[in-house]
Amino acid sequence: MNSRKEFLKVLGLSALTPFFNNTVTGLSRPQTIVKPKRLNKGDTVGVVSPAAPVYGEEKIEIMQESMEALGFNVVISDHVTDRWGYFAGEDKLRADEVNKMFANPNIDGIVCARGGWGCSRILPYLDYEMISKNPKVLIGYSDVTSLLLALHAKTGLVTFHGPVGTSEWKDFSVNYFKSILMEGRQVEMRNPQEVKDTLTQIDDRITTIRMGTAKGRLLGGNLTVLTTIIGSDFLPEWDDAILFLEDVNEGIYRVDRMLTQMKLAGILDKLNGFVFGKCTDCDPGSGYGSFTLDQVYDHHIKPLKIPAWSGAMIGHISEKFTVPIGVQAQIDAKKGIIKMLEPAVQ
């Protein structure tokens, strides 16, 4: 427990916590989580584009064939290829497509076709009351982070940071998707441990920031997207959470800036544990005097004195975990393991 929590406890001022963290407090939050029904072969999944459009018929064909290979019937929104600037249609239209998929009793789960940018713009137009009465699996990553977190914050729904429809769907990703969403298993998420033809493992290594184990609710997603909605009513409470993050093509100074923002907003001090996945194409580059990502983690995360590591299979990569947002989990920062402590679906 961090020093600020201890301070409030000793003085009996826990009720005043919102005044210390008014940038991250919002309206009343659901007190319990809501688990969607597990997906089964023969179920119907709806595919939507809540952000950017899908470009090209071949990608749509591959996406549909991938969903069918998982055993699902597929309903693809009529608007996944719409173009309004860099969005798949105007904000209200994209929100309506999400609302319709939740309201449709013939749709068992919802897969986002891709990320891009735009989910944050549709959050005010979603029908949270209706969605709370029709809980379903919703999965995606990257820009979909804001949609996943908002639905969890507003309704208590467990959502899933994982592959999108246009992902490659390699065996590693498929196995986690099936285990968690279709079999309802409490899995241990571990990086591949292949040595291949080298003397030691080179790919997908983990780096321990601070050793230890911790328990808490899994919350997080894309770092850039998450920080853009800090201060809004669309983020959950962070007390005792395990924060997981990922990003792509960001300068290290930007990662530094965004973690600083999370620190100043009071989020980092509330955490029980921290996991950074992959920051793809986030190298120091040729600029003068850049920190490394490891140094940035040392600056912001190590002083929290919580179990933490980087390198988890979360992010803009072809092989990824399906991470349920809102469920209890335990992490081991030395081994780089995320262990679910409860099923994510009914």
5 pLDDT tier (thresholds 50, 70, 90): very low
pLDDT at 287: 59
pLDDT tens, position by position, 94-141: 999 999 999 999 999 999 999 999 999 999 999 999 999 999 999 999
Predicted pLDDT at 27? 41
Please report the DSSP string for 187-223 in residue order: PEE------TTSSS--TT--EEEE--EEEEEEEEEEH
Residue 182 gets which letter from DSSP? I
β-pairing verdict for 73-76 and 44-48: parallel
Angle at which helix 293-300 crosses helix 252-264, to 10 degrees, equals: 10
Residue 230, CA distances (Å) to 20, 151, 181 in order = 15, 15, 29
239, 215 in Cβ contact below 8 A? no
d(CA 203, CA 285): 20
Residue 200, number of CB atoms within 10 A of its CB: 7
Residues 111 and 238 occupy one common structural domain:
no
CA 193 to chain centre: 23
Q: Does residue 29 have a pLDDT over 80?
A: no
31 vs 303, residue with greater confidence: 303
For the record, the structure tokens of 163 come out as 């592959």
Q: Which CATH number goes with the domain that contains 49? A: 3.40.50.10740
Selecting among 49, 66, 77, 142, the annotated active-site residue is 142
Q: Has 246 been annotated as catalytic?
A: yes
Q: Could you tell me if 161 and 21 lie in one domain?
A: no
Q: Which residue has the higher pLDDT, 10 or 67?
A: 67
Which one of 120, 250, 316, 319 is the catalytic residue?
316
- 330, 194: one domain: yes
Which position has the token pair 């321990």? 208
Residue type at position 197: D
Together in a domain, 135 and 203: no
Are 177 and 192 in the same domain? no
pLDDT given for residue 240 in this prediction: 97
Residue 20, pLDDT score: 32
Q: Does 49 map to a domain?
A: yes
36, 109 in Cβ contact below 8 A? yes
- Average pLDDT of span 56-71: 96
Which of the pair, 139 or 9, is modelled with greater confidence? 139
pLDDT tens digit sequence for 298-341: 999 999 999 999 999 999 999 999 999 999 999 999 999 999 99
pLDDT, the chain, mean? 92
Closest Cα to residue 111, out of 149, 75, 154?
75
Does residue 260 fall inside a structural domain? Answer: yes
Point out the catalytic residue in the list 97, 246, 250, 319.
Answer: 246
The verdict on pTM exceeding 0.75 is: yes
Q: Are 168 and 287 in the same domain?
A: no
Structure confidence at residue 1 (pLDDT): 47
Q: Residue 299 is inside which H or E element, if any?
A: helix 293-300
Percent of the chain with pLDDT over 70: 90
The whole domain housing 103 covers: 44-182
Q: Verify that 152 and 70 share a domain, yes or no.
A: yes
The Cα 220–Cα 55 span in angstroms is 28
d(CA 315, CA 247): 6
38 located within any domain? no
pLDDT score for 321: 98
The answer to whether residue 36 is domain-embedded is: no
Which tokens hold the place of 143? 């820009």
- Is the pLDDT confidence value at 30 over 80? no
Domain match, 192 and 332 both? yes
Q: Is the pLDDT of residue 10 over 50?
A: no
pLDDT (0 to 100) of residue 24:
32
* 50 plus 165 within the same structural domain: yes
Q: CATH number of the domain at 200, please.
A: 3.50.30.60
For residue range 150-201, list pLDDT tens digits in order.
Answer: 999 999 999 999 999 999 999 999 999 999 999 999 999 999 998 888 999 9
What percent of the chain is predicted at pLDDT more than 90? 87
Q: What's the full length of the chain, in residues?
A: 346
pLDDT, one tens digit per residue, over 261-278 is 999 999 999 999 999 999
Supply the pLDDT for residue 285.
72
Dist CA 17 CA 11 (whole Å): 12
